[in-house]
């Protein structure tokens, strides 16, 4: 019984850790859908941003700078999506699907070149972003709820 409770606790912990980034991406998708843009390439943008941020954290040793660089890398993929759809009049769904293929593929290719593996190495605990508030996981959830209602 203790093993079941321990595994359930690990599952809940993993869900709480993975939920805020996915909810923020879904919130961004809702904003783009309300503006009339079909952007299904958000997963590719997240992947390339995450790998770029992890590599930047390992190179610079600064979590805040890595966070900014990862966000800029995802933004570059958003800019690519916008240029392809607006300037070249491509279908938004097809362009988003291409972003979803290119993002993870480019991330795996970059990791294979740098680390001889398709995964980036784990970031040391001291290099991770500091938490906004210690031991309080509800704050990002409240923030997402407030942004969702806008």
Quickly tell me which residue has 């938490």 as its tokens.
Answer: 131
pTM here is 0.72
Q: What is the pLDDT of residue 119?
A: 72
| pLDDT tops 70 at residue 136 | no
Q: What is the mean pLDDT of the chain?
A: 82
Q: What would the pLDDT profile of 5-52 be if each residue is shown by its tens digit?
A: 888 888 887 787 788 888 888 888 888 888 888 889 999 999 999 999
pLDDT in tens, 53-103: 988 988 888 888 988 999 999 999 999 999 999 999 999 999 999 999 999
- At 118 the pLDDT is 75
């Amino acid at each position: 019984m203790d093993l079941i409770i321990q595994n359930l606790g690990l599952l809940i912990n993993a869900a709480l850790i993975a939920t805020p980034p996915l909810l923020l991406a879904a919130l961004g998708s809702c904003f783009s859908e309300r503006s009339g843009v079909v952007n299904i390439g958000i997963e590719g943008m997240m992947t390339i941003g995450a790998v770029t941020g992890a590599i930047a954290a390992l190179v610079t040793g600064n979590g805040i700078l890595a966070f900014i660089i990862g966000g800029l890398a995802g933004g570059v993929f958003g800019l690519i999506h916008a240029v392809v759809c607006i300037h070249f009049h491509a279908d938004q769904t097809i362009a988003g699907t291409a972003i979803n293929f290119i993002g993870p593929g480019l991330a795996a290719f970059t990791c294979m070149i740098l680390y001889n593996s398709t995964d980036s190495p784990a970031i040391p605990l001291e290099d991770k972003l500091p938490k906004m508030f210690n031991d309080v996981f509800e704050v990002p959830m409240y923030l997402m709820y407030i942004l969702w209602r806008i």
